Amino acid sequence: MQLEQIKNIIEASLLASQEPLSRTALSNLFDGQDAVSTKQITQCLDALKSACNGRGIQLVEVASGYRYQVRTDTYPWISRLWKERPQRYSRALLETLALITYRQPITRGEIEQVRGVVVSTPIMRTLEEREWVRVVGHRDTPGHPALYGTTREFLDYFNLKSLDELPPLADIRELTKLEPQLLPDETSSNPDATHPPHPAIPTSLNTMTHEPPHTDSQEQPS
């Protein structure tokens, strides 16, 4: 068999295989009258290795054999293939988080009471995995249910120094939507007397709208 053909078969095998292939495995591709020598295999592997120069993949030897892999410097582009587009959080998650935020410490049962529906375990897990919420204690009632509260990471994520910076309850009640009148020029320093003052809202909402605190924008390779 021509060396060129051997090389082509080895290349295709390595590209097709999910696992690295050892020299033995490569030899076994050729048997009977096709049998190839170790030297031929080495020659082919060397040729294939150099053929990768300047490409996005490379042929490397790892513990269990040879494999093609994406070069580290190409990986940033390739990794976009596997990235899942971030989806929005569900309404249920938002409401659960909102309740934990404003009513902390709160038990799951209490959240369920307010929302009228069961709080799903995946939601709690997501909130905990994101480290926005954690168990801060247990209520001294039968069953000793866990009490949840928000975390430092939660405050960091939303660019808050403390929970006090959240729009207060009373003002939220008033909100019909986040309207332009809540924007900065109508500052708290000069509140209209006929309207109840919204001390925290204008500033914080402004921050919120214009500077959505970190969305996940850093993932792109430059």
Partner 1 sequence: MSTAPVEIGPTMPVDIFGSTPQQQEMPLARVRGESVLSIPQDLYIPPDALEVILEVFEGPLDLLLYLIRRQNLNILDIPIAAITQQYMKYIEIMHEIKLELAAEYLVMAAILAEIKSRLLLPRPLNTEVAEEDPRAELIRRLQEYEQFKLAAENIGALPRVERDTWVTHVAADSQKVIRLPPAMDLQELVLAFKDILKKVDLRAPHAIQRDTLSVRQRMGEVLKTLEDGAFHPFANLFTPDEGRLGVVVTFAAMLELAKDRLIEIVQERPFSPIYLKSSTTDGNV
Binding residues for a copy of itself (CB under 8 A): 4, 8-9, 11-13, 15-17, 21, 25, 28-33, 54-57, 68, 70-71, 74, 77-78, 80-81, 220, 222
Selection from partner 1, a copy of itself, none that 63 binds (CB < 5 to 8 A by kind) is none
Q: Mark the segment that binds partner 1 (CB under 8 A) among 7-15, 32-40, 41-49, 134-142.
A: 7-15
Using CA atoms, how far residue 8 sits from 2, 68, 216, in Å, is 10, 14, 43
Nearer to partner 1, 23 or 71 (CB): 71
- Residue 113 parent element (H or E): helix 108-115
Q: Closest by alpha carbon to 104, among 96, 93, 94, 115?
A: 96
SS3 11: helix
CB of 21 to partner 1, least distance (A): 12
Residue 15 or 51 having the CB closest to partner 1: 15
What is the longest distance spanned by two Cα atoms in the chain?
A: 98
Closest to a copy of itself by CB, 213 vs 221, is: 221
**Pick from a copy of itself, partner 1, none: which does 146 bind, CB < 5 to 8 A by kind?**
none
Stretch that binds partner 1, among 2-10, 21-29, 40-48, 66-74 (CB under 8 A): 66-74
CA distances from 178 to 65, 74, 81, 148, 152 (A): 61, 44, 37, 28, 26
Helices 121-129 & 91-103 angle (0-180, nearest 10): 70
Cβ at position 220, least distance to partner 1 in Å: 8
Residue 54 binding partner per list partner 1, a copy of itself, none, with a CB distance cut-off of 5 to 8 Å that depends on partner kind:
a copy of itself
Spatial separation of the C-alpha atoms in residues 209 and 202, rounded to whole Å: 11
**Minimum distance, C-beta of residue 37 to partner 1, in the bound complex (Å):** 26
Q: How far is the CB of 157 from a copy of itself (least distance, A)?
A: 16
Contacts of 157 (CB under 8 A, 6+ apart): 132, 213, 214
Strand partners of residue 96 = none
**53 near partner 1 (CB under 8 A):** no
- Distance between CA 133 and CA 125 in Å, rounded? 9
Query: Binding to partner 1 by residue 122, rule CB under 8 A?
Result: no
178 binds partner 1 (CB under 8 A): yes
